[in-house]
């Protein structure tokens, strides 16, 4: 009996260890940032939006679909959506496009316009945007 318990415990610990170290399916399918493909001077945007009090969940629900939509845009090079752990409903966007023209085309997409149309109801003060240039010569 003691041997059976010991063997069962070993199997459980082994399975738990493998589950903790195995990469998730999401990580395997995630697009890779290829720094060498980002041109010097690429057009980058760091933006933030804050939910109105009580609208945190609604703004999150409206914003989360942007991740797949923007990353699916062939002109988008990098896209991260982040939420402040200390202040739920405070979102930071980090986006990189090869040029301002590519970024402007992104902003003209129907899903982006639809998201902006929801902000008066959900966001406190709209979107604050910093338009940046990516620095550094990348080696191939």
What is the pTM assigned to this prediction? 0.73
Whether the predicted pLDDT of 28 surpasses 90? no
pLDDT of 137 strictly over 90? no
Average pLDDT, the chain: 83
Least confident range of 24-28, 49-53, 66-70, 82-86: 24-28
Q: Give me the mean pLDDT over the 108-130 stretch.
A: 97
- Written as six digits, the tokens of 26 are 């999401």
Contacts of 123 (CB under 8 A, 6+ apart): 49, 50, 51, 52, 55, 59
């Amino acid at each position: 009996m003691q041997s059976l318990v010991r063997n069962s415990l070993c199997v459980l610990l082994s399975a738990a260890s493998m589950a903790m170290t195995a990469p998730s399916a999401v990580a395997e399918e995630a697009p890779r940032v290829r720094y060498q493909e980002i041109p010097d001077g690429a057009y980058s945007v760091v933006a933030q939006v804050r939910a109105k009090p009580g609208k945190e969940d609604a703004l999150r629900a409206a914003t989360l679909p942007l991740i797949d939509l923007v990353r699916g845009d062939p002109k988008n090079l990098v896209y991260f959506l982040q939420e402040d752990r200390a202040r739920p409903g405070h979102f930071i966007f980090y986006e990189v496009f090869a040029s301002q023209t590519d970024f402007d085309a992104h902003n003209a997409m129907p899903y982006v316009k639809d998201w902006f149309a929801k902000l008066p109801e959900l966001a406190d003060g709209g979107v604050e945007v910093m338009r940046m240039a990516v620095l550094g010569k990348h080696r191939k």
